[in-house]
Amino acid sequence: MSPDSLKVLPQYLLPQRLLAGLAYRITRCRNPLLKNMLIRAFIRHYRVDMAEAVHERPADYRDFNAFFTRALKPGARTLPADETAFASPVDGRVSQIGTIEADTLIQAKGRRYSLGDLLGGDRSMAESFRDGAYATLYLSPRDYHRIHMPIDGELRAMTYLPGKLFAVNPATVNAVARLFARNERVVCLFETGSGPLAVIFVGAIFVGSMETVWAGQVTPARPRAVRRESYPPGRHRYRRADEIGRFNMGSTVIVLMARDRLSWLPEWRAGSLVHQGSVLGTVR
């Protein structure tokens, strides 16, 4: 058994939902002493750069979750001028980036998973991204946790897929087979001038909630069953860099584009640090 597998073994035994629910309650506690203590400890431990935040003092946040999903000051992230640029939707680190091999994506060295599984068995959606481009972006606890549009697009569908809540840190990604196709996730499908775009929010062990700007809080969901929503043309249009959602605690975002529609820039590879707005590639 590999070292990463040993580290991850306890996660199979932990009450994942109970822990997520506990995190949800603690991070929304408005007791000033508790929430300020948590925020200060978090800033120190993860070396969070509060100079970027609109509100720099712990006392300015009503609860820990408001701090965790904090807004940044205008100009803290730059938007590329080139209209063909595909911008990173988040701050984080590239976990994987490349081309989908037929319907197979790389999770980590020696680990692969299928596009169909990731998309909850939606064959039509999976076919639209077959042989396309994908990037998996990991958000660490210290990162900015709002999610933005990488290019202009119009929301056409959203699918909630219930699942496990394994951690999504590098050790777990290396050790747990089909991790991103097993964890709870929200699949957001957009139509763009360059074809379909999917932005997928992947839940994790302490992610008590995921939300979008159009639906509000999507998780925790009651009941925990597959839910598909369709949206008519013209209702939800977003420009590149518009906020579309956020993680209430950290996780991973996966983006998908159709075949021959997106070329990644060669400097991006597994392990690269990115900021929201960084140019990841160019679209056709």
Cα separation of 23 and 171, whole Å? Answer: 21
Active site residue 236: no
Q: Which residues of 83-100 are buried (b: 16+ CB within 10 A; e: fewer)?
A: eebbbbbbbbbbbbbeeb
Alpha helices in 112-260 (DSSP H): 115-118, 123-128, 170-175, 179-182
Q: Which of 63, 88, 91, 152 is catalytic?
A: 91
Judge whether 49 counts as a catalytic residue.
no
Three-class SS of residue 3?
A: helix
E-state strands within the chain: 85-87, 92-99, 104-108, 111-114, 133-138, 146-148, 153-161, 185-192, 195-202, 209-212, 216-219, 227-230, 237-238, 243-248, 252-257, 262-264, 273-274, 279-283
Cα separation, 59 vs 37, in Å, equals: 10
Catalytic hit among 128, 194, 209, 251? 251
Record the tokens describing residue 281, joined without a space. Answer: 């590639």
Give, for 4, the enclosing helix (H) or strand (E): helix 3-8
Active site residue 60: no
Nearest to 273 by CA among 184, 167, 144, 147: 144
Beta bridge partners of 196: 191
Residues in the chain: 284
Given 148, 194, 209, 278, the catalytic residue:
148
Catalytic residues: 91, 148, 251
